[in-house]
Amino acid sequence: MAHHRTMDEICFASAVELRDALAARELSAREVVQAHLDRIERVNPAVNAVVTLVPEKALAAAKAADELAASGAPLPPLHGLPVAHKDTHDTAGIRTTYGSPLFADHVPERDELIVARMRAAGVITLGKTNVPEWAAGSHTFNPVFGLTRNPYDLSRSAGGSSGGAAAALACGLHPLADGSDMGGSLRNPASFNNVVGFRPSPGRVPSPDARLGWATLSVQGPMARSVEDVALLLSAVAGPDPRSPISLAEPGAVFARPLARDLAGARVAWSPDLGGAVPVEPEVRAAVEASAKVFEELGCLVERDCPDFSGADEAFRTLRAWQFEVQFGPLLGSGALKETIRWNTEEGRRLTGPDLGRAEVLRTELFRRVHEFFTRYDFLVLPVSQVPPFDASLEYPAEVDGVPMETYLDWMRSAYFVSVTGCPALAVPAGFSPAGLPIGVQIVGPHLADFAVLQAGHAFEGATGFGRRRPVTD
C-alpha cells in the first residue's frame, strides 16, 4: 500500500475513489468496513442516523469480498462498499422496523429489489438507517428509535423520510445510501444535510413488491455525497424488472457513463417559489437565485420562468391519501399509527370515485403543461425545501415565511409538486444559511431525462463545491 489512510480519509473518500482503491487492492474491504464501523461507534450516538448495526455480518462479508479480490476473479461494480439501508427497505435476516412499534422486532426473509441489486453489485450491508414512522413526513423520528439529528446543528431536523440515510452520509458513516421519495424523501433530507439525493423517473428503479404496481408517486433512488457517486449507485439499482408494469427498459449501465458535459447553451429556467405557488423562506430564495447565477456562469441561457403547477396540490393529496388507505387501512384499528398517518388514511377512506378521477385528470393536465414547458427549456431550478433545517423538537414547521402550515404536508410543496409531474429531480448542495445550515437546490428535467439531470448537477457541483463542507461531528 502506497499510503496508509486514516479512518477519516477512508470515511470521507468518495464511493468512486473507494471503489478504485478496493479494485486496485490498495485498500481491503475489511479495512474499509472496519473504518466505517469505528466511525459509526464514535459519531452515530450524537446523530442517531444508523439504528440497527450488524458488524459481524459486515466483517464476514468483507472477508468474502477480500477473498474474491485475491482470487483474481472479476469484481462487481460496487465491490466492498459499505452501506446501511433505509429501514423501510426489507433486508433478509436483518431487523427492518419501518419505524413502527408494530414491527419493532420484524426480520424479513428476503431483500427487496433495490437492496438485492446493491448486494449483487458487491455492497456490504452495515445495518439500517432511521426513518419517520412508516416513512411518513419529512422529519425523522419514531417510537422505536427516537429522533435523528442534523449533524450541522444537532438542535435541527435531519429531514426525511430518508433522514437517517442523509445524516449518515454527511457524517461519513457510509459513502452511498438507498432511499425512497413520495413527497420529497430523497430530496428534502439531502438538502438538510448538504448531500445529494436523486428522485428518478418512475420505473427507473422498479419496485416489484409494491402493492400498487401501476402507481408512480413513490419511487426509490440513490443518495451520496456527490453526483458522481449517486450516478454510480443508480447504475447498480436501475434497470428493468418484468414484475413491475412500469419498469423502464434502459439498463442501469447507462448511468455509469462519464457525467462531464459542457452546459454552454443549455436553457435553464429558475423560480424561487414555483411561480409564486408556495411561500419560501428568504435564505432559501437567496440560495436559488445564487444557483441561477452559477448556471449563467456555466454558459447557460438562464431565465426566470416556471410551469403552471395549479392542480398539483389536489392531485398529490388525493393520490397520497388513496395510497395511504391501501397501505394503512388494515392497521387503522390497531391504535399503533401516529396521528398524521391516521388522518391521512382516513382522508383516503373518504375519497370517492370522482375524487380519484379528478386527481388523475389534474395530474395529466399538469404533465402536458410541464412537457410543453420543457420544449422551451432543458432544466428547471427550484428550491428543494421551502425552509432551512427546522427545530428538531417540532413535528413540522408551524409556518413558512409568515404563512401558517395547516398539516404535516404543507411545508413540503416545493418537493411534492415535482413528484406529481413524474419528472426526474436532483437535490444538490447550494449553500448555507447565515446560521450555517445547509440549503439544497432542486434541478428538474423532462420526464425520463434522468442522465441529463445528473450531468447538470455534476456541472453545478463542480462550479460551487458546497458539498465539500463537512459538519463538525467530533
CATH number, domain at 361?
3.90.1300.10
Give the pLDDT band of residue 2 (cuts 50, 70, 90): very low
Residue 472, pLDDT > 90, answer no
Task: Determine, yes or no, domain membership for 22.
Answer: yes
C-alpha cell at 149: 439529528
Q: Identify whether 474 is part of a domain.
A: no
> Taking 80 as the threshold, does the pLDDT of residue 207 lie above it?
yes
pLDDT at residue 365, rounded to an integer: 98
Digit-coded pLDDT (tens) for 316-374: 999 999 999 999 999 998 888 999 999 999 999 999 999 999 999 999 999 999 999 99
Residue 404 located in a structural domain? yes
Domain that holds residue 406: 7-468
Q: Is residue 39 scored above 80 in pLDDT? A: yes
User: Does the predicted model carry a pTM greater than 0.85?
Assistant: yes
CB atoms within 10 A of CB 353: 7
What pLDDT, in 10s, does the model give residues 72-82? 999 999 999 99
Q: What is the mean pLDDT of residues 426-451?
A: 98
In this prediction, residue 4 carries a pLDDT of: 76
Average pLDDT over residues 213-220: 97
Distance of CA 300 to the CA centre of its chain: 27
* Residue 96 forms part of a structural domain: yes
Residue 250: alpha-carbon gap to chain centroid: 21
Counting beta carbons within 10 angstroms of the beta carbon of residue 157, is it exposed (0 to 12), middle (13 to 18) or buried (19 or more)?
Answer: buried
Residues taking part in catalysis: 86, 161, 185
3-state secondary structure of 302: strand
Q: Cell 449533524 belongs to which residue? A: 151
- Asked, for residue 1, whether it belongs to a domain, the answer is no
DSSP 8-state secondary structure symbol assigned to residue 93? T
Domain count, the chain: 1
Banded model confidence at residue 1, pLDDT cuts 50, 70, 90: very low
At 84-141, the pLDDT tens digits run 999 999 999 999 999 999 999 999 999 999 999 999 999 999 999 999 999 999 999 9
428 within a domain of the structure (yes/no): yes
Q: Which residue has the cell 482503491?
A: 21
Domain assignment present for residue 2? The answer is no
With b for 16 or more beta-carbon neighbours within 10 A and e for fewer, the 217-256 pattern comes to bbbbbbbbbbbbbbbbbbbbbbbeeeebebbbebebeebe
pLDDT tens digits for 141-183?
A: 999 999 999 999 999 999 999 999 999 999 999 999 999 999 9
Mean pLDDT of all residues belonging to the chain = 97
* Residue 162 counted as domain residue: yes
